[in-house]
Chain A
């Protein structure tokens, strides 16, 4: 089991471009969570998805940000028209059931987005 795979590991975008972050959960996990980590700050919840459903997107900015977890393929976090303030590490986690309190819940290594 390869663990939670995120790609790319590093992404550089110019202001106004789109950023697309991918997360492949662990095999057998159907629950995916996205978190954002700003420098010197703790992680902040963004969105919780199950296959083909957004369960809770209360932590995601209303504009420019969207997330999906299709029936086939990885979960995608999309940021349109990026701004410098979007520069952060974006982490994805997956679990076999709802919640992050499982020993079987794991985080990926993150995608570090830099907006120039």
Chain B
């Protein structure tokens, strides 16, 4: 079993829809959770960084952690074509620079 699992998609939704992107993880000791966005042929950029359980909101983006289910989610409200990208979840191991990454979900927002 991989330490972090993520559905590769692609996930295609119409503009304006609410998008839900998810990852599951296996190690209950993980405390920090990160979401990155990666445009085609670009490097990943950090979107959200959350600690433990609960929700964190930043503009149209909400990150949610459910530690009891080992499930993390990223919601995008009022999705835009410019949100079309691959979204990767990442979890720091013991150090804060060794990240375990999901394979990424490719998101397509149709105008």
A residues with CB within 8 A of B: 4, 31, 33, 40-45, 48, 56, 58-59, 91, 93, 95, 98-101, 103, 105-110
Q: How far is the CA of A113 from the CA of B35 in the complex (A)?
A: 26
B98 x A45 contact (CB < 8 A): yes
B92 x A56 contact (CB < 8 A): no
Cβ–Cβ < 8 Å partners of A43 in chain B:
44, 88, 90, 99, 101
B99 x A107 contact (CB < 8 A): no
8 A-B contacts (beta carbon < 8 Å): A45-B99, A48-B97, A91-B44, A95-B97, A100-B97, A101-B34, A109-B41, A110-B43
B43 x A100 contact (CB < 8 A): no
Q: Say yes or no: is B32 at the interface (Cβ < 8 Å to chain A).
A: yes
A100 x B99 contact (CB < 8 A): yes
B residues with CB within 8 A of A: 4, 6, 8, 32, 34, 41-46, 49, 88, 90, 92, 95-104
Cβ–Cβ < 8 Å partners of B6 in chain A:
42
Minimum C-beta distance from B75 to chain A (A):
20
B103 x A42 contact (CB < 8 A): yes
B43 x A107 contact (CB < 8 A): yes
Q: How far is the CA of A55 from the CA of B46 in the complex (A)?
A: 23
Cβ–Cβ < 8 Å partners of A40 in chain B:
8, 103
